Amino acid sequence: MRVNEFHRRYWEVLKEAGVRATRYSRESDQYSGCESIFGHHTEVRIDLYERTTGRMADCLLYRMRGKGFSDQQGVPDNLHEKEASEIAPLLISVDTAVVSILLLGASHHLEKQEGTIGTTMVLPVPLGQILAAKTVASMVLAVESAVVTSAALFFIHGITLNYALLLLFVAIAGAAHAAIGFTLSLRSRDFTSMLGLLMVYMLLFTMPSILFILGAIDAKYEWLLMISPSHSASNLITSAVSGKFRTAITIAGCLYLTILTAALFRFAVYPQFRDNAARE
Protein backbone atom coordinates (compact mmCIF):
# COMPACT_ATOMS: atom_id res chain seq x y z
CA MET A 1 0.00 0.00 0.00
CA ARG A 2 2.82 2.43 0.78
CA VAL A 3 4.44 1.77 -2.59
CA ASN A 4 1.17 2.45 -4.42
CA GLU A 5 0.59 5.66 -2.47
CA PHE A 6 4.10 6.82 -3.21
CA HIS A 7 3.59 6.06 -6.92
CA ARG A 8 0.31 8.02 -6.98
CA ARG A 9 1.85 11.00 -5.20
CA TYR A 10 4.81 10.86 -7.59
CA TRP A 11 2.52 11.49 -10.58
CA GLU A 12 0.63 14.22 -8.75
CA VAL A 13 3.88 16.10 -8.17
CA LEU A 14 4.80 15.73 -11.85
CA LYS A 15 1.41 17.05 -12.88
CA GLU A 16 1.61 20.01 -10.49
CA ALA A 17 5.04 20.86 -11.86
CA GLY A 18 3.69 20.83 -15.42
CA VAL A 19 5.79 17.87 -16.53
CA ARG A 20 4.28 15.99 -19.43
CA ALA A 21 4.77 12.24 -19.21
CA THR A 22 3.02 9.07 -20.22
CA ARG A 23 1.80 7.08 -17.24
CA TYR A 24 1.91 3.32 -17.28
CA SER A 25 1.61 0.86 -14.43
CA ARG A 26 4.09 1.04 -11.56
CA GLU A 27 5.97 -1.98 -12.89
CA SER A 28 6.18 -0.50 -16.38
CA ASP A 29 7.50 2.79 -15.00
CA GLN A 30 10.16 0.89 -13.03
CA TYR A 31 11.17 -1.19 -16.01
CA SER A 32 11.26 1.84 -18.30
CA GLY A 33 13.48 3.68 -15.86
CA CYS A 34 15.87 0.73 -15.55
CA GLU A 35 16.02 0.27 -19.32
CA SER A 36 16.68 3.96 -19.95
CA ILE A 37 19.53 4.01 -17.43
CA PHE A 38 21.03 0.53 -17.66
CA GLY A 39 19.71 -0.66 -21.01
CA HIS A 40 17.98 -3.66 -19.46
CA HIS A 41 16.25 -4.82 -16.30
CA THR A 42 16.17 -8.08 -14.33
CA GLU A 43 13.10 -9.23 -12.49
CA VAL A 44 13.50 -11.45 -9.42
CA ARG A 45 10.41 -12.93 -7.83
CA ILE A 46 10.30 -14.56 -4.40
CA ASP A 47 7.48 -16.88 -3.51
CA LEU A 48 6.58 -15.90 0.05
CA TYR A 49 4.11 -18.74 0.35
CA GLU A 50 6.52 -21.55 -0.43
CA ARG A 51 6.17 -24.21 2.26
CA THR A 52 8.85 -26.48 3.63
CA THR A 53 8.41 -29.97 5.03
CA GLY A 54 11.54 -29.87 7.20
CA ARG A 55 11.33 -30.47 10.92
CA MET A 56 11.61 -27.53 13.30
CA ALA A 57 14.76 -28.97 14.88
CA ASP A 58 16.44 -29.27 11.48
CA CYS A 59 15.51 -25.71 10.55
CA LEU A 60 16.81 -24.42 13.92
CA LEU A 61 20.15 -26.21 13.57
CA TYR A 62 20.39 -25.01 9.95
CA ARG A 63 19.89 -21.42 11.13
CA MET A 64 22.37 -21.78 14.00
CA ARG A 65 24.98 -23.01 11.53
CA GLY A 66 24.59 -19.70 9.76
CA LYS A 67 22.14 -20.60 6.98
CA GLY A 68 18.42 -20.46 6.50
CA PHE A 69 17.69 -16.80 5.78
CA SER A 70 18.51 -14.63 2.80
CA ASP A 71 20.88 -12.38 4.75
CA GLN A 72 23.31 -15.27 5.29
CA GLN A 73 22.90 -17.38 2.19
CA GLY A 74 26.15 -16.12 0.69
CA VAL A 75 28.46 -16.71 3.65
CA PRO A 76 31.09 -19.46 3.39
CA ASP A 77 30.06 -22.80 4.84
CA ASN A 78 32.93 -22.83 7.35
CA LEU A 79 32.64 -19.23 8.55
CA HIS A 80 30.53 -19.94 11.64
CA GLU A 81 32.52 -23.07 12.48
CA LYS A 82 35.68 -20.94 12.50
CA GLU A 83 34.09 -18.29 14.72
CA ALA A 84 32.80 -20.96 17.11
CA SER A 85 36.26 -22.53 17.36
CA GLU A 86 37.72 -19.14 18.26
CA ILE A 87 35.07 -18.20 20.85
CA ALA A 88 34.82 -21.61 22.59
CA PRO A 89 38.31 -21.52 24.20
CA LEU A 90 37.60 -18.02 25.54
CA LEU A 91 34.39 -19.19 27.22
CA ILE A 92 36.06 -22.20 28.81
CA SER A 93 39.06 -20.13 29.91
CA VAL A 94 36.91 -17.50 31.61
CA ASP A 95 34.94 -20.15 33.51
CA THR A 96 38.16 -21.86 34.53
CA ALA A 97 40.16 -18.79 35.49
CA VAL A 98 37.64 -16.29 36.85
CA VAL A 99 34.34 -17.93 37.78
CA SER A 100 36.05 -20.77 39.64
CA ILE A 101 37.94 -18.26 41.79
CA LEU A 102 34.72 -16.40 42.51
CA LEU A 103 32.87 -19.51 43.61
CA LEU A 104 35.73 -20.71 45.77
CA GLY A 105 36.07 -17.30 47.42
CA ALA A 106 32.33 -17.07 48.05
CA SER A 107 32.19 -20.53 49.64
CA HIS A 108 35.26 -19.86 51.79
CA HIS A 109 33.94 -16.59 53.23
CA LEU A 110 30.49 -18.11 53.75
CA GLU A 111 32.09 -20.89 55.81
CA LYS A 112 34.11 -18.27 57.66
CA GLN A 113 30.99 -16.24 58.40
CA GLU A 114 29.10 -19.30 59.63
CA GLY A 115 32.06 -20.41 61.75
CA THR A 116 32.41 -23.83 60.17
CA ILE A 117 36.09 -23.56 59.22
CA GLY A 118 37.23 -24.35 62.74
CA THR A 119 35.22 -27.55 62.79
CA THR A 120 37.23 -28.90 59.84
CA MET A 121 40.24 -29.23 62.12
CA VAL A 122 38.50 -31.92 64.19
CA LEU A 123 37.43 -34.01 61.18
CA PRO A 124 39.02 -37.49 61.00
CA VAL A 125 40.76 -36.62 57.72
CA PRO A 126 44.02 -34.79 56.99
CA LEU A 127 43.91 -31.12 56.09
CA GLY A 128 45.41 -31.95 52.69
CA GLN A 129 42.38 -34.05 51.79
CA ILE A 130 40.05 -31.23 52.80
CA LEU A 131 41.89 -28.81 50.53
CA ALA A 132 41.89 -31.39 47.75
CA ALA A 133 38.12 -31.83 48.06
CA LYS A 134 37.56 -28.07 47.91
CA THR A 135 39.82 -27.86 44.86
CA VAL A 136 37.92 -30.60 43.03
CA ALA A 137 34.61 -28.92 43.89
CA SER A 138 35.82 -25.61 42.46
CA MET A 139 36.81 -27.37 39.23
CA VAL A 140 33.32 -28.76 38.60
CA LEU A 141 32.14 -25.58 36.86
CA ALA A 142 35.17 -25.56 34.56
CA VAL A 143 34.57 -29.19 33.60
CA GLU A 144 30.87 -28.51 33.04
CA SER A 145 31.75 -25.56 30.82
CA ALA A 146 34.10 -27.71 28.77
CA VAL A 147 31.49 -30.47 28.39
CA VAL A 148 28.66 -28.11 27.40
CA THR A 149 30.83 -26.15 24.97
CA SER A 150 32.20 -29.34 23.39
CA ALA A 151 28.66 -30.70 23.00
CA ALA A 152 27.52 -27.45 21.34
CA LEU A 153 30.45 -27.55 18.92
CA PHE A 154 29.65 -31.14 18.00
CA PHE A 155 25.86 -31.03 17.68
CA ILE A 156 25.61 -27.57 16.08
CA HIS A 157 28.76 -27.31 13.98
CA GLY A 158 29.93 -30.91 13.76
CA ILE A 159 33.33 -30.05 15.28
CA THR A 160 35.11 -32.83 17.17
CA LEU A 161 37.91 -32.25 19.68
CA ASN A 162 40.52 -34.21 21.54
CA TYR A 163 38.24 -34.50 24.58
CA ALA A 164 40.71 -36.34 26.83
CA LEU A 165 43.38 -33.71 26.27
CA LEU A 166 40.87 -30.89 26.79
CA LEU A 167 39.78 -32.34 30.15
CA LEU A 168 43.43 -32.77 31.16
CA PHE A 169 44.24 -29.14 30.35
CA VAL A 170 41.07 -27.93 32.10
CA ALA A 171 42.07 -29.94 35.19
CA ILE A 172 45.58 -28.44 35.21
CA ALA A 173 44.26 -24.91 34.71
CA GLY A 174 41.47 -25.40 37.25
CA ALA A 175 43.85 -26.66 39.94
CA ALA A 176 46.17 -23.69 39.40
CA HIS A 177 43.35 -21.16 39.66
CA ALA A 178 41.92 -22.96 42.67
CA ALA A 179 45.25 -22.38 44.39
CA ILE A 180 45.10 -18.72 43.33
CA GLY A 181 41.53 -18.50 44.60
CA PHE A 182 42.54 -19.95 47.97
CA THR A 183 45.42 -17.47 48.20
CA LEU A 184 43.18 -14.48 47.48
CA SER A 185 40.48 -15.71 49.87
CA LEU A 186 42.85 -16.39 52.75
CA ARG A 187 44.48 -12.97 52.40
CA SER A 188 41.19 -11.05 52.39
CA ARG A 189 39.00 -10.14 55.35
CA ASP A 190 35.66 -10.65 53.62
CA PHE A 191 34.18 -11.38 50.20
CA THR A 192 34.14 -7.70 49.22
CA SER A 193 37.86 -7.27 49.81
CA MET A 194 38.42 -10.56 47.99
CA LEU A 195 36.62 -9.12 44.95
CA GLY A 196 38.99 -6.16 45.07
CA LEU A 197 41.99 -8.48 45.02
CA LEU A 198 40.40 -10.43 42.16
CA MET A 199 39.95 -7.24 40.12
CA VAL A 200 43.63 -6.43 40.59
CA TYR A 201 44.55 -9.96 39.54
CA MET A 202 42.36 -9.73 36.43
CA LEU A 203 43.86 -6.41 35.39
CA LEU A 204 47.39 -7.73 35.77
CA PHE A 205 47.01 -11.25 34.38
CA THR A 206 43.62 -11.95 32.76
CA MET A 207 43.05 -8.82 30.66
CA PRO A 208 46.37 -9.08 28.78
CA SER A 209 45.48 -12.65 27.82
CA ILE A 210 42.06 -11.58 26.50
CA LEU A 211 43.65 -8.72 24.57
CA PHE A 212 46.12 -11.19 23.05
CA ILE A 213 43.29 -13.48 21.94
CA LEU A 214 41.52 -10.52 20.34
CA GLY A 215 44.70 -9.54 18.50
CA ALA A 216 45.39 -6.32 20.42
CA ILE A 217 48.80 -7.59 21.62
CA ASP A 218 51.43 -8.70 19.14
CA ALA A 219 52.39 -12.37 18.99
CA LYS A 220 56.05 -11.59 19.72
CA TYR A 221 55.12 -10.90 23.35
CA GLU A 222 53.48 -14.29 23.92
CA TRP A 223 56.39 -15.78 25.84
CA LEU A 224 56.29 -12.78 28.17
CA LEU A 225 52.55 -13.31 28.66
CA MET A 226 53.21 -16.91 29.70
CA ILE A 227 54.04 -15.50 33.14
CA SER A 228 50.30 -15.01 33.52
CA PRO A 229 48.55 -18.17 34.78
CA SER A 230 45.45 -17.10 32.88
CA HIS A 231 47.34 -16.88 29.60
CA SER A 232 49.06 -20.23 30.14
CA ALA A 233 45.68 -21.82 30.84
CA SER A 234 44.08 -20.08 27.85
CA ASN A 235 46.90 -21.27 25.60
CA LEU A 236 46.46 -24.89 26.69
CA ILE A 237 42.68 -24.82 26.24
CA THR A 238 42.95 -23.09 22.86
CA SER A 239 45.40 -25.68 21.58
CA ALA A 240 43.08 -28.50 22.69
CA VAL A 241 40.08 -26.93 20.93
CA SER A 242 41.87 -25.93 17.72
CA GLY A 243 44.04 -29.05 17.50
CA LYS A 244 47.10 -26.90 16.76
CA PHE A 245 49.87 -27.54 19.25
CA ARG A 246 53.11 -25.65 19.69
CA THR A 247 55.23 -28.14 21.58
CA ALA A 248 57.46 -25.71 23.48
CA ILE A 249 54.63 -23.41 24.63
CA THR A 250 52.34 -26.33 25.53
CA ILE A 251 55.00 -28.10 27.63
CA ALA A 252 56.03 -24.82 29.26
CA GLY A 253 52.41 -24.02 30.13
CA CYS A 254 51.80 -27.44 31.70
CA LEU A 255 55.00 -27.33 33.74
CA TYR A 256 54.46 -23.73 34.85
CA LEU A 257 50.88 -24.29 36.04
CA THR A 258 51.81 -27.55 37.78
CA ILE A 259 54.76 -25.98 39.62
CA LEU A 260 52.71 -22.89 40.49
CA THR A 261 49.91 -25.07 41.91
CA ALA A 262 52.29 -27.11 44.04
CA ALA A 263 54.15 -24.03 45.31
CA LEU A 264 51.00 -22.13 46.25
CA PHE A 265 49.42 -25.05 48.07
CA ARG A 266 52.64 -25.94 49.87
CA PHE A 267 53.87 -22.50 50.93
CA ALA A 268 50.76 -20.29 50.92
CA VAL A 269 47.45 -22.14 51.08
CA TYR A 270 48.20 -25.01 53.47
CA PRO A 271 49.88 -23.02 56.32
CA GLN A 272 47.51 -20.04 56.05
CA PHE A 273 44.40 -22.21 56.00
CA ARG A 274 45.64 -24.07 59.09
CA ASP A 275 46.36 -20.81 60.92
CA ASN A 276 42.95 -19.33 60.02
CA ALA A 277 41.17 -22.50 61.14
CA ALA A 278 43.08 -22.46 64.45
CA ARG A 279 42.07 -18.84 65.09
CA GLU A 280 38.44 -19.69 64.39
Of the listed ranges 44-48, 84-88, 270-274, the one predicted with least confidence: 44-48
Residues 173 and 229 in one domain: yes
Domain assignment of residue 34, given as a range: 1-44
Number of domains within the chain: 2
Residues 1 and 140 in one domain: no
More confident residue, 15 or 85: 85
Helix (H, G, I), strand (E, B) or coil at 51: coil
pLDDT of residue 172 exceeding 80, the answer is yes
Residues 117 and 197 in one domain: yes
**Crossing angle, helix 127-138 and helix 163-186, to 10 degrees?**
120
113 in a domain, yes or no? Answer: yes
19 in a domain, yes or no? Answer: yes
Angstrom distance (rounded) from CA 252 to CA 85: 23
Angstrom distance (rounded) from CA 151 to CA 163: 10
Quote the DSSP letter at residue 46: -
Contact predicate 206/228, CB 8 Å: yes
> Given pLDDT bands bounded at 50, 70 and 90, which one contains residue 180?
very high
pLDDT at 34: 52
Residues 1 and 109 in one domain: no
**pTM to 2 decimals?**
0.70
49 in a domain, yes or no? Answer: no
Dihedral in degrees, nearest 10, Cα atoms 138, 139, 143, 145? 50
Residues 28 and 132 in one domain: no
Residues 128 and 236 in one domain: yes
252 in a domain, yes or no? Answer: yes
Angstrom distance (rounded) from CA 53 to CA 55: 7
- pLDDT (tens digit, 9 = 90+) per residue, 224-242? 999 999 999 999 999 999 8
pLDDT at 256: 96
69 in a domain, yes or no? Answer: no
- pLDDT (tens digit, 9 = 90+) per residue, 23-74? 544 445 555 555 555 555 555 554 544 445 555 455 555 555 554 444 444 4
